[in-house]
DNA sequence: CTAAAGATTTAAATCGGTTCAAATTCATGT
DNA sequence: ACATGAATTTGAACCGATTTAAATCTTTAG
């Protein structure tokens, strides 16, 4: 149906090799044939079949990005960054949503072997029984960039310093005089949640405050998860906090909704989110949050991946970016004088 | 480096054709060889190269989804739906963000010819100088499903009845007694915005109300666009509305933020969004909105695309879904008695 | 005018699968 | 034991590009 290089060769009265030469701007083909054939190509609107090209060249100009769920604003921004630099480099990106499901994630990992994508950026779940698959893939030389560590594996990595981010946010709350502060956690399969919890806890220590199980409540990563957590908390009223650090902005937004429904208000209850993706900045009471440079994370991950694709021997890159506490209204900083200690 | 079908053939002392037979579960190869070779394949963890397969079979098991911006919650939900059914069918999806840029969109269109993706789902911009590219692609038999009409082209299409959706929402506001109602428009390159405006306007007619340019304000599609529109409006105070229909939820959220900053409140000013994707339902004053079944749209688009991929002769499918007005708090329906007319 | 050097072009192999006509093996009935 | 037909396997072509050694064509110098 569509033209092939052989058709063009026939039309031009020349060999396929020559046509290939002009396609790839090979200096060995003369300027005049180049022009002549280029015209014929143009005329017939011939586009070389990249599948055939991929087979011959052993690379597909495709990479895969596997995240939990593009409909989460933070991940969608990462994907935007990834796609940006891929487009610049002439690559396309296959996107996979693991949906927090290990089986799906494993399935996507298979794209490396099956579809021969040139590399993969992946936010691995922390729920695998073992990580030999990752280990094997990496040992087999497949370019892999992670967005979160995997136990016992050294690979290129781009992430943010979750612990420090949570630590700073928590200290901020504490400095503002909040004393009943809780952390609404993320999904158990997220290493980032554990890290943020660690930072949260550390702030308690540093401020010399007691920390107990009451300071943690189980959350999740979606609006609904935050809402549920808040609902439960404000229905039972076992413990009414005056400060809350949430796993991410979506959880914070859901939590705030729940608290509002029960007649409480922000920032009387101070709330801080994490990510700074999505609607937070535009809430009626704008959300204070630990901002991650999501697009930048995506861009860097892609850049690191390309470096690895091009140069298989280079040593491992581990990029850990800083977060930034973006103080808006929901933490009450604009109302309260910080407590010095 | 990695195993090929020839390696397996050699290992099994059999021809490549036979190995291919077991890979494709060809009934002509005997059960015992099938088992024997399957074991060898398993043992060596051989995965056939799908690039080679794609070349031979002339299909890649890839489709492309081109939207404006995955980081918009509505599009990300569509992409989720698309990916769901693709995963079920063993397809992968390449995602492209046109970013409202015609050149980028055209570039992505090229994936059909270049990367030989088996089909494409695309939300075309309305800013092309001409649509011959689409026309040619479609004439050349490339499977194409649109998420918005293109002037003068008949292709498979899945979308929502924007006009009716906006009409219903507007009537709702009007019935609630709101008299100074405005439409915060979407980007000019979005046909959907024009359709929603038409529905908005029609409601005015039906209610026998005057409609003028004051009833439209230029918006956009992001939080920031809604915010800017609101800010401008409430700074100038030329016209303070008591009801607002926004192009989408993001615009509504931004608009509400602007109005809040200026000391106004929702639902004293009633606000309705469009899409029902993202944070709307979890705002302190939950957003009333015209809900689109985004995931379903994605799923249907993918399903239609697969039908077209499999059966090139079938006639065109045009699926127009209904929206649903989800009444929450931001339109004030829970406070106001509807006005009968 | 011719040989050597340099510039271009080409034939054929290759990438790793699928497919189909032809060849081979197997089973059955006599 | 043998002919026959069915079941299975295989060789070779093909998908559409790239690549490289060899062939051919141009220049240039002597």
Phi, psi of B93 (to 5 degrees): -120, 130
B16 strand D contact, CB < 7 Å? yes
Indicate if the pLDDT at residue A339 is higher than 80: no
Q: Please compute, for residue B297, the number of CA atoms within 13 A of its CA located in the half-sphere on the CB side.
A: 28
- Kindly state the greatest CA–CA separation across chain A: 86
* Token pair listed for B199: 């529905």
* pLDDT classification of A127: cutoffs 50, 70, 90: confident
* pLDDT classification of A341: cutoffs 50, 70, 90: very low
| Residue count (chain A) | 341
Å between B190 CA and D17 C1'? 40
* Token pair listed for B148: 């918005």
Question: CA dist A45 to A19, B102, B115, B134, Å?
Answer: 14, 20, 15, 15
Report the topology of domain B60-160+294-321.
Rossmann fold (3.40.50)
Radius of gyration of chain A (CA): 26
**What is the residue-wise DSSP string for B149-194?**
--TT---EEEEE-HHHHHHHHHHHHHHTT--SEEEE---TT-HHHH
* Separation between Cα atoms, residue A332 and residue B50, nearest integer Å: 56
Q: What residue segments make up the domains of chain B, in order of their start? A: 5-48, 60-160+294-321, 162-292
Contacts of A283 (CB under 8 A, 6+ apart): A253, A256, A330, B253, B257, B283, B284
Return the CATH superfamily for domain A162-292.
Response regulator (3.40.50.2300)
The answer to whether the beta carbons of residues A133 and A107 sit under 8 Å apart is: no
Å between B177 CA and D14 C1'? 72
* Residue A145: per-residue pLDDT: 97
Indicate if the pLDDT at residue A340 is higher than 70: no
User: Which comes out higher in pLDDT, residue B128 or A60?
Assistant: A60
Which residues of chain B neighbour A226 with C-beta distances below 8 Å? Answer: 282
Please indicate whether the domains covering A5-48 and A162-292 agree at the CATH topology level. no
**What is the residue-wise DSSP string for B286-323?**
PPEEEE--HHHHHHHHHHHHHHHHH-TTSPP-EEEEPP
- Kindly report, residue by residue over A261-295, the tens digit of the pLDDT: 999 999 999 999 999 999 999 999 999 999 999 99
* pLDDT classification of A337: cutoffs 50, 70, 90: low
CA B29 to chain centre: 45
Å between A24 CA and C15 C1'? 18
Please judge whether B2 and A113 are an interchain contact, meaning their C-beta atoms are less than 8 angstroms apart.
Answer: yes
* Token pair listed for B155: 């292709």
Architecture of domain A5-48: Orthogonal Bundle (1.10)
Residue from the list B60, B92, B279 with its beta carbon closest to the beta carbon of A279: B279
* Separation between Cα atoms, residue A24 and residue B298, nearest integer Å: 38
The answer to whether the beta carbons of residues A36 and A12 sit under 8 Å apart is: yes
A59 strand D contact, CB < 7 Å? no
Phi, psi of A326 (to 5 degrees): -95, 105
DSSP state of B334: T
Which residues of chain B neighbour A283 with C-beta distances below 8 Å? Answer: 253, 257, 283-284
Residue from the list A250, A257, A282 with its beta carbon closest to the beta carbon of B227: A282
DSSP state of A93: E
- Start-to-end CA span in chain A (Å): 77
A21 strand D contact, CB < 7 Å? yes
Residues 248-267 of A with CB under 7 A from strand D: none
Please judge whether A49 and B97 are an interchain contact, meaning their C-beta atoms are less than 8 angstroms apart.
Answer: no
Letter string b/e over residues A134-167, b meaning 16 or more CB atoms within 10 A of that residue's CB: beebbeeebbbbbbbbbeebebbbbbbbbbbbbb
Å between A15 CA and D27 C1'? 24
Mean pLDDT of B125-137: 87
Residue from the list B54, B70, B266 with its beta carbon closest to the beta carbon of A51: B54
- Kindly report, residue by residue over B76-124, the tens digit of the pLDDT: 999 999 999 999 999 999 999 999 999 999 999 999 999 999 999 999 9
Å between A16 CA and D18 C1'? 10
Phi, psi of B232 (to 5 degrees): -60, -45
A48 strand D contact, CB < 7 Å? yes
Map residue B275 onto helix, strand or coil: strand
CATH hierarchy code of domain A61-160+294-321: 3.40.50.2300
* pLDDT classification of B70: cutoffs 50, 70, 90: very high
A49 strand D contact, CB < 7 Å? yes
Please judge whether A114 and B47 are an interchain contact, meaning their C-beta atoms are less than 8 angstroms apart.
Answer: yes
**What is the residue-wise DSSP string for A140-196?**
TT--EEESS--TT---EEEEE-HHHHHHHHHHHHHHTT--SEEEE---TT-HHHHHH
Shortest CA distance from A93: residue in chain B? B94
Q: Taking Cα atoms as reference points, which of B113, B111, B84 lies closest to residue B98?
A: B111
Nucleotides of C strand lying within 7 Å of any protein CB atom: 7-20
**What is the residue-wise DSSP string for A213-231?**
GGGEE---SSHHHHHHHHH
Shortest CA distance from B46: residue in chain A? A113
Radius of gyration of chain B (CA): 26
Which residues of chain B neighbour A285 with C-beta distances below 8 Å? Answer: 284
* Separation between Cα atoms, residue B253 and residue A96, nearest integer Å: 29
Indicate if the pLDDT at residue B341 is higher than 50: no
Question: CA dist A160 to A31, B68, B153, B248, Å?
Answer: 51, 27, 47, 32
* Separation between Cα atoms, residue A272 and residue A328, nearest integer Å: 9
Indicate if the pLDDT at residue A320 is higher than 50: yes
Indicate if the pLDDT at residue B1 is higher than 70: no
* pLDDT classification of B271: cutoffs 50, 70, 90: very high
* Separation between Cα atoms, residue B312 and residue B142, nearest integer Å: 9
Mean pLDDT of B278-302: 98
Q: Are strands B119-122 and B156-160 parallel, antiparallel or unpaired?
A: unpaired
Please judge whether B76 and A77 are an interchain contact, meaning their C-beta atoms are less than 8 angstroms apart.
Answer: no
Please judge whether A55 and B50 are an interchain contact, meaning their C-beta atoms are less than 8 angstroms apart.
Answer: no
The answer to whether the beta carbons of residues B267 and B242 sit under 8 Å apart is: no
Indicate if the pLDDT at residue A236 is higher than 70: yes
* Separation between Cα atoms, residue A301 and residue A297, nearest integer Å: 6
- Kindly state the greatest CA–CA separation across chain B: 86
Question: CA dist B5 to A45, A261, B45, Å?
Answer: 35, 63, 12
**What is the residue-wise DSSP string for B96-155?**
EE-TT-HHHHHHHHTHHHHT--SEEEE---S--S--HHHHHHHHTT--EEESS--TT---
Which residues of chain B neighbour A2 with C-beta distances below 8 Å? Answer: 113, 140
Residue from the list A73, A116, A257 with its beta carbon closest to the beta carbon of B284: A257
Indicate if the pLDDT at residue B283 is higher than 60: yes
CA A245 to chain centre: 21
């Amino acid at each position: 149906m569509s033209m092939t290089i052989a058709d063009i060769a026939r039309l031009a009265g020349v060999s396929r090799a020559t046509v290939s030469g002009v396609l790839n701007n090979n200096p060995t083909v003369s300027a005049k044939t180049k022009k002549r054939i280029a015209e014929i190509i143009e005329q017939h609107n011939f586009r070389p079949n990249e599948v055939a090209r991929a087979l011959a060249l052993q690379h597909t100009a495709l990479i895969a990005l596997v995240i939990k769920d593009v409909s989460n604003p933070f991940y969608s921004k990462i994907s935007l960054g990834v796609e940006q630099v891929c487009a610049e480099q002439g690559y396309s990106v296959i996107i996979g949503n693991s949906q927090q499901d290990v089986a799906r994630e494993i399935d996507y990992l298979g794209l490396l072997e099956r579809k021969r994508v040139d590399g993969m950026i992946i936010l691995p779940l922390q729920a695998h029984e073992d990580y030999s698959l990752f280990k094997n893939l990496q040992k087999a030389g497949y370019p892999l960039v992670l967005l979160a560590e995997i136990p016992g594996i050294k690979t290129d990595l781009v992430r943010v310093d979750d612990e420090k981010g949570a630590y700073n946010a928590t200290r901020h709350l504490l400095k503002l005089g909040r004393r009943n502060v809780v952390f609404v956690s993320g999904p158990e399969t997220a290493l980032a949640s554990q890290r943020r919890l660690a930072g949260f806890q550390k702030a308690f220590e540093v401020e010399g405050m007691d920390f107990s199980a009451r300071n943690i409540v189980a959350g999740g990563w979606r609006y609904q998860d935050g809402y549920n957590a808040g609902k439960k908390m404000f229905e039972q009223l076992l413990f009414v906090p005056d400060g809350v650090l949430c796993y991410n902005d979506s959880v914070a937004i859901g939590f705030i909704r729940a608290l509002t429904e029960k007649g409480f208000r922000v920032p009387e209850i101070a709330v801080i989110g994490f990510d700074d993706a999505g609607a937070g900045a535009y809430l009626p009471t704008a959300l204070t949050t630990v901002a991650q440079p999501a697009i930048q994370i995506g861009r860097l991950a892609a850049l690191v991946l390309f470096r690895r694709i091009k140069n298989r021997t280079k040593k491992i890159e581990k990029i850990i970016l800083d977060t930034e506490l973006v103080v808006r209204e929901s933490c009450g900083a604009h109302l309260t004088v910080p407590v010095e200690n």
